[in-house]
Structure 1
Amino acid sequence: MTPDDYAALVVQPVQAESTAFQVGTPLTTTSTRMHLPIVVEDAGAAWVLEGEEVVAPAKVAGLTVVSSELAEDSNPDAQQIVGNGLARSIARQVDAAFFGSLPHPAPHGLEKLTGISAVAAGRKWTNLDPFLSAIAAAENVGATLTSFTAHPNDALALAQLKEQSGSNRPLLGSDPTMPTRRVIAGVPLYVSPAVTPGTVWGIPRDRVFVVLRRDVRVDISADAYFSSDQVAVSGTMRVGFGYPHPAAVAKVSLTQ
């Protein structure tokens, strides 16, 4: 494997598997840090040079163990099997950091973000009014929510809401271009187990960034699994998140 092969083996599958890469704006850098201008609200939303958010991508690694025969197979399908396993492992960690609040050295996720638009949704999901409030909150600061992301259990509860009592017609809409995707007031609803149950995140894609450094590595070792004729394949990426306009991010939460 050469560095040029890493994109197809690890980077592209991770970007396809990770919800964070789908709801945010992916950026690629060759530097150890990326500076993003901060959006402030002073006589209207504006980009200013005085404040910057520095995004320092952190290391995230995945490990998969395969047979020696599979590791030595030159068939592209065999490489894809290995790459997909690594991608799923790394993507889970990326999403866990993005939607959560993992300790250092993981980058700061949404749960650590301050100054966001918080919307209370009551004790259980009964209608879509909280999401309309979230959309309006983003619009009030000059942003547009381009996605909602929920835990699978909350996505199911929302999907089971009906237009009215006695009706079988779901309250959520569907995306004509992707029949399996649900939408809330025209905004696509993504699903990720990394989201805290009872919370739905409203993301404006142009105000949330997922920064990827180019120095992706794939390492192979047979030492640890010598006795079982297996090979360990590890993939390493460096990923960070940037939130230059926290007020544009909406958090819709159930109350306890």
Structure 2
Amino acid sequence: MPFTVSTPTSAAAWRPDEYTFAATDVIPDAVLLNCTTNAGNVEGDAVSVRVACVDDALATITAEGSTIDEAQPELSEALVHTSKVTQLVRLSREQYQQPSTPEQLAQSVSRAVTRRANLAFLTEPTPTAPAVAPVAGLLNTVGIVDGGTVTDSLDVLIDLVATLQTNLATPSSLVLGPRGWAALRKLKSAATYNTSLLGSGTEDAQALVLSLPVIVTNAITDHSGLVIDKTAIVSAVGPVVISTSMDRYFDSDSVGVSCRFRSGFAVPRPDRIGVFSVGVPQGS
């Protein structure tokens, strides 16, 4: 009888049970990865990333030959606390060995981890002291600028962006839910017109509003929106780690597959992040 070497019958050294992938490769659509500045990574709930921050001191004009005044920049730090997104899947050995199972399972895990990471970044409730993680999502972050409600025009959004820029922000993107984005696209160019203020949308190469790219995610509250300056948010992002075990469910001849992803963020300059709501146009 011919003998075939296979991973289920090989020693553990010949079938690694843990694989590590860069988060940008496995969950590239996670909002956290696209809307923050990555400052490093840590492992463990009790540790944090300490990020040095400095508030720019004023520069002055000095006459020739005069003494230059000493600047006094304010040095501070932001603490980035992290939390772990996990998923554990149990499969029968026979199902696990089906040709299409690994690919389908990988896609499912990627979607699940992306979804939970997005919820944590955008809408996570504020932790109850003494807990510090998971940190409050952006919509629950104290100090961000509330621009009000967009109703019949983009004036509220234009004013909000201007306010953030006055606070030295450089807005990099808008984040909206599907319903909020739909409400924006329904805004008409005039009360008696049927033309959309943002164009027909039939040939969009990229979703843009006020020249800012729009990220649409169902992880944000309906009709809520954020104006984000990614340099005002620092994050700690770890790799996505996939582990398999042929032993945990030995008594049922099953395979365990787990995924874990650790991340966190802090907003040292909340006045450079804006929040707004999008009113539902009449007739929608």
The structural deviation recorded for 1:3 is 8.3
What's the counterpart of residue 250 of structure 1? 274
Q: Which runs of 5+ in 1 are unaligned?
A: none
> Corresponding residue for 2:51?
36
The 8 Å contact of residues 246 and 254 in structure 2, kept in 1 or not, is answered as no
Code of the aligned partner of 1:12? D
Quick check: which has more Rg, 1 or 2? 2
CA RMSD of aligned residues (A): 3.5
Q: How far off its partner does 1:48 sit?
A: 5.7
Q: Could you tell me how far 1:140 is from its partner in structure 2?
A: 0.4
Distance in 1, Cα, partners of 2:38 & 2:199: 27
Letter matched to residue 29 of structure 1: N
Alpha-carbon contact 2:54-2:75 (below 8 Å) kept: no
Query: Structure 1 pair 215/196, CA: closer, same or farther in 2 (3 Å)?
Result: closer
Shift of residue 232, structure 1, vs aligned partner: 3.4
Is 1:19 the equivalent of 2:31?
Answer: yes
Provide the residue aligned with 1:196 in structure 2.
Answer: 221
* TM value normalised by structure 2: 0.72
**Aligned with residue 145 of structure 2, among 117, 125, 132:** 117
User: Is 2:190 the counterpart of 1:149?
Assistant: no
CA deviation map 1:30-77 (0-9, x unaligned)? 564211234548759x9966421111221111234445345346x7x7
1:7 maps to a residue whose letter is F
Residues 38 and 245, structure 1, Cα contact 8 Å, conserved in 2: no
Counterpart for residue 220 of structure 1:
245
| 1:36–1:242 CA contact under 8 A, matched in 2 | no
- Offset at residue 79 of structure 1 (A): 3.6
- Quick one: percent identity of the two aligned structures? 22
Kindly report structure 1 stretches of 4+ aligned residues shifted beyond 4 Å. Answer: 1-4, 39-44, 46-49, 221-227
Gapped regions of structure 2 (runs ≥ 5): 1-14, 60-70, 280-284
**Cα drift, residue 12 of structure 1:** 2.2
Which whole-Å CA distance do the structure 2 matches of 1:116 and 1:62 have between them? 32
Q: Distance in 1 between matches of 2:141 and 2:243?
A: 32
Note closer, same or farther for the CA distance 1:164–1:254 as it changes in structure 2 (3 Å cut).
Answer: closer
- For 1:244 and 1:71, how far apart are their aligned partners in 2? 45
Report the Cα distance in structure 2 between the residues aligned to 1:170 and 1:252, rounded to whole angstroms. Answer: 20
SS in 2 for 1:56: strand
How far apart are the structure 2 equivalents of 1:214 and 1:87?
13
- C-alpha separation in 1, matches of 2:79 and 2:222: 30
TM-score (norm 1): 0.79
- 1:97 maps to 2:120: yes
Structure 1 residue aligned with 2:111: 88
**Higher helix fraction: Structure 1 or Structure 2?**
1
CA drift of 1:98 comes to: 0.7
Residue among 39, 54, 59 paired with 2:79: 54
Point out the structure with the larger strand share. Answer: 1
1:234 aligns with 2:258: yes
